[in-house]
A and B are shown apart, each in its own frame.
Chain A
Amino acid sequence: MRESRWIRITALENIPAREGRAVQIGDREIAIFNLGDRLLATSNRCPHKGGPLCDGIITGTSVVCPLHAWKVSLTNGSVERPASESERCVETYPVRVENGVVVVAVPQGAVEERVA
């Protein structure tokens, strides 16, 4: 597995409790969810029809896609509903808060740093 790089995303208050927000990093669109006591991040595209997971309602540690109510685990990315699709999953990303800033780990090579 390639090494990941931590990228500073945004201030924590920009992701309200129990909501998600999408962020474009390179060619990846990543959804970051604020569960109140911790953050979780996945690919923003639902494996069903590509619905924006960041716009879903959070239930426990899962999110429900706003298009057709597929339920996706935010901890391991697996599809929890429909049960017949449990083989499918979305990519997950490590995420944490540092000094009030949300940082996400994205695989190296996918991004290149350039000083702002």
Chain B
Amino acid sequence: MKRLVVVGNGMAGMACVEQILKYGPSLDDARDAPGASRGAMFRITVFGDETHANYNRIMLSSVLAGEKSADDIVINSLDWYRRNEIELRVGVRILDVDPVRKTVTGDDGSITPYDTLLLATGSSAWMPPIKGLDKDGVFTFRTLDDTRALLKRAGPDTRAIVIGGGLLGLEAARGLQVHGCQVTVVHLMATLMERQLDPPGGKFLMAKMKELGIRVVLGKSTTAIRGNGHVEGVEFSGGETLDSDLVIVAAGIRPNVELGRKAGLTVKRGIVVNDYMETSDPAIFAVGECVEHRGVCYGLVAPLFDQGKVLAATITGRRGPTYTGTVQAAKLKIVGVEMFSAGNIDDDGAEPVRYEDPSLGIYKKVALRDGKLAGVILVGDTSDSHRYMEWLRTDADLSDRRRHLLFPPPAADAGLDVAEMSDGATVCGCVGVTKGTIIHAIHERGVSTLSQLKEATRACTGCGSCTSLCQDLLRAVAPDFEDEKKKTICACVPFAEDRLRDILRSQKLKSVQEVLEIYGNGVGCEICKPALSYMLDMLWCGDHDEDRSARFINDRVHANIQKDGTFSVVPRIRGGVTSADELRRIADVADKYHVPMVKITGSQRIDLLGIKKADLPKVWADLGMPSGQAYTKGVRMVKTCVGTDFCRFGTQDSTSAGVEMERRFEQLYTPHKVKMGAVGCPRNCAEATVKDIGLIGVEGGWQVVVGGAAGKSVRKADLLTTVETTEAALEASELFFQYYRENANYLERTYDFVERLGIEKVRKDTVYATDAVKAGLLDRLAKSKSRSYDAWKEGQAPRNPTQFAPIKLMEKVLV
């Protein structure tokens, strides 16, 4: 069996190896040694100078932004190498190639012979001529190790300068800013991403970046890194300076061609390959960012897959298919900043067609040549990008589609749009999956859900931007496709909850009975009545017709019913902080009402169990404390640690923050119970990482995490944002809290809600939303809060004479 050595364990190399494996053993080998090899025709050895299995490099920005973990972006696990009998040598850098003896030499001293050599060495960050790049605090952003190193240094109060306003630089800037860094992007040119955008497009993009709170400095050439050993700032060519703690160099990439040179191959900017992906040496091949094809070096992911397929055919002796180049397309993966650019965007000789709406931040431009699409720019709305890619790829004549260049014609049905895509069109750019592959999976493998599709084709496992396209395809083609069911509350009111909220709002319905009579069966049940009660209270911010008959008993008498029909009483003890006075009153109540059990709860509160309904008002009055809402789908409590006042380790006053948080949210109702936590340091003594909302004190700020759980489910909360001040942390919590109140289904805990929507969407709609959207959430929360009241006040002013008091017979009877 021939020996194939692959130098480079990145996306290009492994995408090609996957294609090679698909061809299976060569016919000769199969004849010579039947059963000897169940894998490919090669014995494969892969060298990678990074110490990881191969991962999706374009997702590093998501790792930096905390949206994905390193494990999430692994493409081929170590098990994949084992199964395919591939020898993987990580942490070994190949230093030399001897094309005569056909060997490669590693930095570990190893000499490995090859019959066929595949160079997939990729590219490296280009370091511009800046003095002091060796200082501590200067980073590049190319690898998982780079990303991890940056994550260690990123935090509130850290000032970071990103040199380079291209795709990578902007994604790095956003990733750092999510962790609370004050980020400035310094760009040499007059507009951002000038290779992909025209000047107006660059301005729209810049406005978006500024909206996110990222500073952008244009037309500045950095000449030196300032500082004594450590980075203290940068100096520009005019002599101006800018202070900083970190510098990230993202000024471009250069193909790694050194081994190509050593092997004596023809090398220009990249290792030169022809349309069959052959180099000047018949035993050596090259693929990916290290090659130059027809004068072009690609720095993007899509060409890798096209090249890999052609190369796999050539290398396995099936020379025939050719690679003729790839339409260049770039998409920015920053939540809240949509940017897409493809083709040739130069105006020279082209006919531009533009649309812009500065207040929405949307800019679209297509450049036509000879009635065909030459290039396209989209900022602010990239939902149409696949349409343009298809036109570019097929070189479509657009003369009869002139009226619909910037907006698609209104579709007769949802499937029309995807039906127009050709089978060769790429649906998932991250993993390189075409429409044809998806259709094949649906027909041949019975795929009918999105998760099955991910499993079968790996489409939609990268950045997720093709989710809706994949769903459209499933809807159009898969006979058994079921949309994620829009759940109705119950049979009484046959509407999905989001639709129902719209109806109640637009029809100004304010009572449960009205809703049931107009939009339901007129009767209702124990499931829909409490759900509708919540919905009305939330929608009208407390200004609705409260109907207690539609509430569960707990919400009629503000206590938790027990198995014997008695109730439990949990007074509010904000942040778990109480006093001798309160404890004394609790003890007195326990004595006076012969409370069968007094229990410390898991929520840092005290539960008095076994109270008779008739005694509730008296108990509450004697306690003199507000309701802890332990009985309802509402705000429970904020669990806190001792913070900075007493603890040796605390970095933030979590106790005060937790008490304040509880004050802001208490008395409010929610789709399901909401339990919160605030901790003063990452030791997490009050378990904030498994709460619905958690504040985690870190040096110089707070992390706000959401969607955690430690109940029926256990789930680690997702990072919503990192902020510097307690007020900012509370505001981020408020945004999420109100967003959850308004958008979750009834009885949907935050951990299901966040998982259903994805933390990216939650962030986009809350902390990264426009100021107007944020103000709306905060206003409605404030309105609800201002109308809320301590439910235990009803003890003194009952809603009706028999809310708590038993009925007294009008005539005396004896047994």
- Write the residues of chain A forming the contact surface with B, with a CB cutoff of 8 angstroms: 7-10, 13-19, 21-27, 49-52, 55-60, 64, 66-67, 69, 101, 110-116
When the two chains form the complex, which single residue of B523, B526, B801, B810 contacts A8, counting CB atoms closer than 8 Å?
Answer: B810
Beyond A18-B547, A21-B802, 5 additional pairs, beta carbon < 8 A:
A9-B810, A24-B806, A52-B565, A66-B561, A112-B815
- Chain A residues with CB under 8 A of B551: 57
Check A110 against B815 for contact (C-beta < 8 Å): yes
- Chain B residues with CB under 8 A of A21: 802, 807
Cα distance A9–B564 when bound, in Å? 25
| B113-153 with Cβ < 8 A to chain A | none
- Chain B residues with CB under 8 A of A56: 526, 553
Give 20 CB contacts A-B under 8 Å.
A7-B811, A8-B810, A16-B800, A16-B802, A23-B809, A25-B809, A26-B813, A51-B563, A55-B565, A56-B553, A57-B526, A58-B549, A59-B526, A64-B525, A101-B810, A110-B815, A111-B814, A111-B815, A113-B813, A114-B812
Check B549 against A7 for contact (C-beta < 8 Å): no
Does B236 lie at the interface of the complex (its beta carbon under 8 Å from any beta carbon of A)? Answer: no
Check B525 against A14 for contact (C-beta < 8 Å): no
Does B550 lie at the interface of the complex (its beta carbon under 8 Å from any beta carbon of A)? Answer: yes
- Write the residues of chain B forming the contact surface with A, with a CB cutoff of 8 angstroms: 523-526, 529-530, 547-553, 556, 561, 563-565, 800-802, 806-815
Closest beta carbon of chain A to B555's beta carbon, Å: 11
Closest beta carbon of chain B to A14's beta carbon, Å: 5
Residue of B nearest to A46 (CB): B565
Closest beta carbon of chain A to B632's beta carbon, Å: 13
- Chain B residues with CB under 8 A of A64: 525-526
Cα distance A1–B282 when bound, in Å? 106
Cα distance A26–B564 when bound, in Å? 20
Known contacts A57-B526, A67-B561; is-contact A16 B549 (Cβ 8 Å): yes
Known contacts A52-B565, A59-B524; is-contact A111 B813 (Cβ 8 Å): yes
Check B807 against A116 for contact (C-beta < 8 Å): no
Cα distance A66–B549 when bound, in Å? 13
Closest beta carbon of chain B to A1's beta carbon, Å: 20
Known contacts A57-B550, A66-B553, A113-B813; is-contact A14 B807 (Cβ 8 Å): yes
Cα distance A1–B276 when bound, in Å? 100
Closest beta carbon of chain A to B545's beta carbon, Å: 13
Residue of B nearest to A109 (CB): B815
- Chain B residues with CB under 8 A of A112: 813-815
Check A10 against B810 for contact (C-beta < 8 Å): yes
Cα distance A67–B801 when bound, in Å? 24
Known contacts A16-B800, A59-B523; is-contact A116 B812 (Cβ 8 Å): yes
Tell which of B530, B548, B811, B814 has the most Cβ of chain A within 10 Å: B811
- Chain B residues with CB under 8 A of A22: 806-807
Cα distance A23–B807 when bound, in Å? 6
Closest beta carbon of chain A to B802's beta carbon, Å: 5
Closest beta carbon of chain A to B542's beta carbon, Å: 20
Known contacts A16-B549, A18-B549, A19-B548; is-contact A57 B812 (Cβ 8 Å): no
Check B561 against A26 for contact (C-beta < 8 Å): no
Cα distance A5–B261 when bound, in Å? 109
Check A9 against B523 for contact (C-beta < 8 Å): no
Cα distance A75–B525 when bound, in Å? 17
Cα distance A22–B553 when bound, in Å? 13
Check A10 against B525 for contact (C-beta < 8 Å): no
Check B813 against A10 for contact (C-beta < 8 Å): no
Cα distance A44–B524 when bound, in Å? 22
When the two chains form the complex, which single residue of B552, B563, B809, B815 contacts A57, counting CB atoms closer than 8 Å?
Answer: B552
- Chain B residues with CB under 8 A of A14: 800-802, 807
Closest beta carbon of chain A to B804's beta carbon, Å: 11
- Chain A residues with CB under 8 A of B810: 8-10, 101
Closest beta carbon of chain A to B670's beta carbon, Å: 20
Check A7 against B526 for contact (C-beta < 8 Å): no
Check A57 against B807 for contact (C-beta < 8 Å): no
Tell which of A50, A55, A69 has the most Cβ of chain B within 10 Å: A55
Closest beta carbon of chain A to B805's beta carbon, Å: 9
Residue of B nearest to A101 (CB): B810
Check B813 against A57 for contact (C-beta < 8 Å): no
Check A59 against B525 for contact (C-beta < 8 Å): yes
Check A17 against B815 for contact (C-beta < 8 Å): no
**Top 8 closest pairs, chain A to chain B, by CB:** A18-B549, A55-B553, A64-B526, A59-B525, A57-B526, A8-B810, A52-B565, A111-B813
Known contacts A14-B801, A56-B526; is-contact A8 B814 (Cβ 8 Å): no
Cα distance A64–B563 when bound, in Å? 15
- Chain A residues with CB under 8 A of B561: 52, 55, 66-67
Tell which of A7, A8, A16 has the most Cβ of chain B within 10 Å: A16
Closest beta carbon of chain B to A89's beta carbon, Å: 20
When the two chains form the complex, which single residue of A19, A26, A49, A115 contacts B815, counting CB atoms closer than 8 Å?
Answer: A26
- Chain A residues with CB under 8 A of B526: 56-57, 59, 64, 69
- Chain B residues with CB under 8 A of A50: 564-565
Cα distance A13–B551 when bound, in Å? 19
Check A116 against B815 for contact (C-beta < 8 Å): no
When the two chains form the complex, which single residue of B523, B556, B815 contacts A27, counting CB atoms closer than 8 Å?
Answer: B815
- Chain A residues with CB under 8 A of B552: 57, 66
When the two chains form the complex, which single residue of A15, A18, A58 contacts B802, counting CB atoms closer than 8 Å?
Answer: A15
Cα distance A24–B806 when bound, in Å? 9
When the two chains form the complex, which single residue of B802, B808, B814 contacts A114, counting CB atoms closer than 8 Å?
Answer: B814
Known contacts A21-B802, A59-B523, A66-B552; is-contact A9 B813 (Cβ 8 Å): no
Cα distance A55–B550 when bound, in Å? 11
Cα distance A9–B802 when bound, in Å? 13
Residue of B nearest to A111 (CB): B813
Residue of B nearest to A60 (CB): B523
- Chain B residues with CB under 8 A of A116: 811-812
Cα distance A55–B561 when bound, in Å? 9
Cα distance A25–B565 when bound, in Å? 18
- Chain A residues with CB under 8 A of B556: 19, 55
- Chain A residues with CB under 8 A of B802: 10, 14-16, 21
Cα distance A18–B337 when bound, in Å? 52
Closest beta carbon of chain A to B477's beta carbon, Å: 41
Cα distance A9–B561 when bound, in Å? 25
When the two chains form the complex, which single residue of B549, B553, B563, B812 contacts A49, counting CB atoms closer than 8 Å?
Answer: B563
Closest beta carbon of chain A to B21's beta carbon, Å: 55
Closest beta carbon of chain B to A109's beta carbon, Å: 10
Cα distance A60–B529 when bound, in Å? 12
Cα distance A73–B420 when bound, in Å? 57
Cα distance A115–B813 when bound, in Å? 9
Cα distance A65–B632 when bound, in Å? 17
- Chain B residues with CB under 8 A of A111: 813-815
Residue of A nearest to B812 (CB): A116
Closest beta carbon of chain A to B4's beta carbon, Å: 65
Closest beta carbon of chain B to A8's beta carbon, Å: 4
Check B809 against A8 for contact (C-beta < 8 Å): yes
Cα distance A52–B564 when bound, in Å? 8
- Chain A residues with CB under 8 A of B800: 13-14, 16
- Chain A residues with CB under 8 A of B809: 7-10, 23-25
Cα distance A26–B553 when bound, in Å? 25
Tell which of B530, B552, B807 has the most Cβ of chain A within 10 Å: B807
Closest beta carbon of chain A to B536's beta carbon, Å: 16
- Chain B residues with CB under 8 A of A26: 813-815
Check A16 against B811 for contact (C-beta < 8 Å): no
Cα distance A27–B814 when bound, in Å? 9
